[in-house]
């Protein structure tokens, strides 16, 4: 589950203050909550990621820091603490989708979940080869993660109702890009199909 963080999803937060429509992201919360409940019941592992940086920004290169609106950059004060800084309220995962004790939480400095993290080691240790990828945003951190995962040999299924973009056009085209050309780097489905499959396995 990619970056379901308050800074991106809460009304009044960083995402909304940049002029984005957070409802486009918030529609993923209910399907994700249902999926996570069924996933946990089936005894399957959930890995949560959070995009963010150290308080001294030593892990945020200028190429990343110098993007976006000048007064609303990573590390600047926001409505829910310093924007995308580890340990701040806004950096953490929204209340509805909080990790359970024992679930992996990966703090990542990049858009992709593999860059500068131990995600590969965690997956390889548990023998996981197939991923269901959810979270936000579709065309940024979800796409980067799925592309990185496929290059590393993992099969990826992206759930259309469990990923969100601030831009409806990017959501539509972002999903098309994944499954085009016979599934060029992944597949796309809806979460009810996964819920049915989990039910049938019982
Ligand atoms: N998690 C993630 O996608 N980070 C972003 O910065 N996304 C935007 O769409 N801005």
Element containing residue 50 per DSSP (H, E): strand 47-51
What b/e string do you get for 4-15 counting C-beta neighbours within 10 Å, with b at 16 or more?
bbbbbbbeebbb
CA 141 to ligand 1: nearest atom: 3
User: What is the tens place of the pLDDT at every residue in 34-77?
Assistant: 999 999 999 999 999 999 999 999 999 999 999 877 778 999 99
Q: Give the Cα separation of 96 and 33 in Å (integer).
A: 7
> Of the listed 7, 60, 92, 108, which one is catalytic?
108
pTM: 0.97
Report the pocket of ligand 1 as residue ranges, CB < 6 Å: 3, 51, 111, 136-137, 140-141
Across 4-13, 32-41, 71-80, 138-147, least confident range: 71-80
* Chain mean position to CA 197: 23
> Of the listed 3, 7, 92, 162, which one is catalytic?
3
């Amino acid at each position: 589950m990619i970056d379901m963080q308050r800074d991106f999803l809460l009304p009044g937060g960083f995402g909304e203050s940049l002029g984005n429509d957070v409802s486009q992201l918030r529609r993923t919360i209910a399907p994700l909550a249902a999926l996570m409940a069924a996933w946990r019941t089936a005894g399957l592992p959930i890995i949560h990621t959070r995009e963010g940086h150290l308080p001294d920004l030593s892990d945020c290169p200028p190429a990343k820091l110098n993007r976006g609106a000048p007064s609303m950059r990573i590390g600047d004060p926001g409505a829910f603490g310093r924007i995308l800084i580890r340990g701040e309220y806004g950096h953490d995962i929204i209340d509805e989708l909080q990790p359970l004790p024992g679930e992996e939480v990966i703090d990542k400095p990049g858009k992709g979940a593999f860059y500068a993290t131990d995600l590969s080691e965690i997956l390889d240790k548990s023998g996981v080869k197939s991923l269901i990828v959810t979270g936000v945003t579709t065309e940024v951190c979800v796409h980067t993660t799925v592309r990185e995962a496929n290059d590393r040999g993992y099969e990826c299924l992206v759930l259309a109702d469990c990923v969100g973009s601030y831009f409806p056009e990017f959501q539509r085209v972002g999903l098309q890009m994944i499954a085009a050309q016979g599934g060029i780097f992944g597949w796309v489905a809806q979460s009810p199909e996964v819920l049915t499959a989990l039910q049938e396995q019982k």
